[in-house]
Structure 1
């Protein structure tokens, strides 16, 4: 499964080759592949190059190639990790997913999309104790982390956390969308858990950022006809793609979902999707990469966990600046799920004390984030 052109390659290590164009550039410039790492590039049309160039110390990760070329470069001192047949995903992929890639063949039913087939494979293999399957999942997730780091070099990332149950057509969903739009227009890269509900709303807002304000109002009305991914993921996803087709070229944002919760599909408004098999890797990675701050919308157990997953490194931070944390809806965070009193008690007397805030309304979050230094 090859990456699409919509997935840019940014700031990769200068010894990595992640596309056929990069491969040709390296060959033309260096005349050697020694000690390069070639990742998920189809080299079946470059047999003559592989047969003649120095490949000492090179590593080829999931690169289709002619058997003669593979034998020759192994003999010359390269490591070759061949593609794995029969998988619904590429464990060596060099780029993040796109919505179009994960939802390919949606018109034939969600169950035949790459996203659904990867989840089905995960369900079959996660408990069978097969070390090969667990190794493939680990390689895939490491490749996704590498691609995510390359994408976010130099970006001011703000994470937006919130529950998956927030339905399209509600005031809460519209507020989360306006938050994502405001953050994107302020120059932040919006990152979410990549799923439905509040996560989708924030990614939608970032997508809407380049357009006039009435575009988001129209998009919200269009999406309301499929308020939830239940009972039909297909109808829910098709409504999102209808928005994308009507207003192409929206703003970029990042979604970081997981097949661990594969019954929740990824949303189609994040331009770059870092989807993981391991939820713990996904959760930690999302918060760690939200370097400009995190906004926590009302949520249940998962969101409460994220509050304290983020608070822990802030609590122990002694050299740098703790990440700003903004909790939205004082009633929710002081009475319904009173995380705020505990967070404030933890912060007392520590550097993080000046980097946390509780606001009543979602429209106050961007200013609070800026006030905290995000």
Structure 2
């Protein structure tokens, strides 16, 4: 089973994203010249800043005392100060955790959480067409993409896509959770759209991977008390945190949700959450990073879009070797939403047939994926 650090080492070793990295760099190198310090609180590092060369450095959203800020500016560093009264940090250096996005859930309900407040800010500023707000969103999303790339260095990523309407307590949800567990136990990093339904089930399965089989069975029973995120996101999320509290130290996986669909909360079982404001950036980034294949569970318009978003670069060979694609539920993809015939026709035109498969059952997906990967 593959594990992931909070973030991977940087290729050029110039980015500093934690106070521990800051201290280690100052101690080992004695200089911050040319470094990028991202979202680190430096209010207690005034002595180090005053004594260290910071020529050409960039400080992104790093709180610091005024005398330290004046000194680093005099050195020739660029200082982008924190933006007050924002419910998110646009310069963040690491991905979100469930605890961070759902902070204050127990005290004030979902409406009090940073996730809900960020969505409310997005709704308000999007309507205002404020150029400063759109710039903050763009900077935030680029920071998230950078953190996601660093996290996934060396990871073998497999995507699990599917509809948000898949309810806890159903056979389909249970099967999707077992799929996520199977993929994680085979050494793959599970990545989903990060929302409820099939996405949550796959992240739950990856979370359950280090535990014994009874853990997942019992977790599914507990979650069924709050089948969907409507009418109460608070109850839905609280049930998930009950599972996380009872079985801590779950396996790692990635969720990539968006505030564009802010009525859908992120699920708390993805250990690393790359949440975006721009849905187009999120969709393309999610699929592009699934280099070891994608499993498509039954879904509606969003899942159909993801199928062809993934098929398009395969068709034009813009990723080199086509990414394996497994569609689950023959009836769904040939009769209810006849996506498979069109996908197969495209595949014939570009010799993609050896990289796509249609299976009847979720439990058949891991074997089909392994076969397509060769």
> TM-score range, shorter-chain basis?
over 0.9
Please, which runs of 5 or more residues in structure 1 have no aligned partner? 1-5
Q: What value does the CA root-mean-square deviation take over the aligned residues?
A: 1.2
Shift of 1:7: 7.0
The alpha carbon displacement at 1:318 in A equals 6.4
Q: How does 1:128-207 map to 2 (within 5 A)?
A: 128-207=128-207
**1:117 shift after superposition:** 0.5
- Distance in 2 of aligned mates of 1:302 and 1:29: 49
Task: Tell me the distance in 2 between the aligned counterparts of 1:307 and 1:11.
Answer: 32
2:101 paired residue number = 102
Aligned partner of 1:274 in structure 2 is 274
Please state how far the C-alpha of 1:8 moved relative to its aligned partner.
1.0
> Could you say if the C-alpha distance between residues 163 and 57 of structure 1 is closer, same or farther in structure 2, counting changes exceeding 3 Å?
same
Q: Which stretch shows the higher mean deviation, 270-279 or 345-354?
A: 345-354
Determine the C-alpha separation between the residues in 2 that align with 1:7 and 1:242: 24
Partner deviation per Cα, 1:333-362 (whole Å, 9 max, x = no partner) = 001001100000001042422100000111
Say which is worse superposed, 56-65 or 44-53, in terms of deviation: 44-53
* 1:52–1:319 distance in 2 versus 1, CA, 3 Å: closer
Aligned equivalents of 1:48, 1:271: Cα separation in 2: 35
CA shift, 1:28, in A, is: 1.3
Q: Structure 2-normalised TM-score?
A: 0.97
1:257–1:266 contact (8 Å) kept in structure 2: yes
Structure 1 equivalent of residue 23 of structure 2: 24
C-alpha deviations, 1:252-302, integer Å up to 9, x for none?
A: 110000000011100010000000000001000100000100000000000
Q: Is the 8 A contact 1:157 1:290 kept in 2?
A: yes
- Deviation string 1:189-234 (CA, Å, 9 cap, x unpaired) is 0000000000000000101111111211111111111000000000
Q: Is the 1:322–1:351 contact (alpha carbons within 8 Å) kept by the matching residues of 2? A: no
Does the Cα contact within 8 Å between 2:313 and 2:319 map onto a contact in 1? no
Q: How many residues align?
A: 369
Residues 50-93 of structure 1 show CA distances to partners (whole Å, capped at 9, x for unaligned) of: 12221111000000001111111112110000000000000000
1:372 aligns to what SS in structure 2?
helix
Q: 1:137 to 1:161 in 2, by over 3 A?
A: same
In structure 2, the gaps of 5 or more residues are none
How far 1:12 sits from its partner (Å)? 2.2
Q: Counterpart in 1 of 2:6?
A: 8
How high is the TM-score relative to the length of structure 1? 0.97
| CA 1:258–1:7: 2 relative to 1, 3 Å | farther
Contact 1:7–1:95, Cα closer than 8 Å, also in 2: no
Divergent runs of 4+, >6 A: none
Paired residue secondary structure (1:191): strand
Report the counterpart of residue 3 of structure 1 in structure 2. none
2:32 corresponds to? 33
Counterpart of 1:365 in structure 2 is 365
Question: Could you tell me how far apart the structure 1 residues matched to 2:331 and 2:62 are?
Answer: 54
Residue 353 of structure 2 aligns to a residue in which SS? helix
Q: Deviations over 1:141-160 (max 9, x none)?
A: 01000111111100010000
8 Å CA contact retained: 1:321, 1:351 = no
Q: Structure 2 matches for 1:57-68, cutoff 5 A? A: 57-68=56-67
Aligned to 2:121: 121
Cα distance in 1 between the residues matched to 2:26 and 2:8: 20
Whether the 8 Å CA contact 1:7–1:97 is kept in 2: the answer is: no
Alpha-carbon distance, 1:11 to partner = 2.2
The answer on whether the counterparts of 1:7 and 1:98 sit within 8 Å (CA) in structure 2 is no
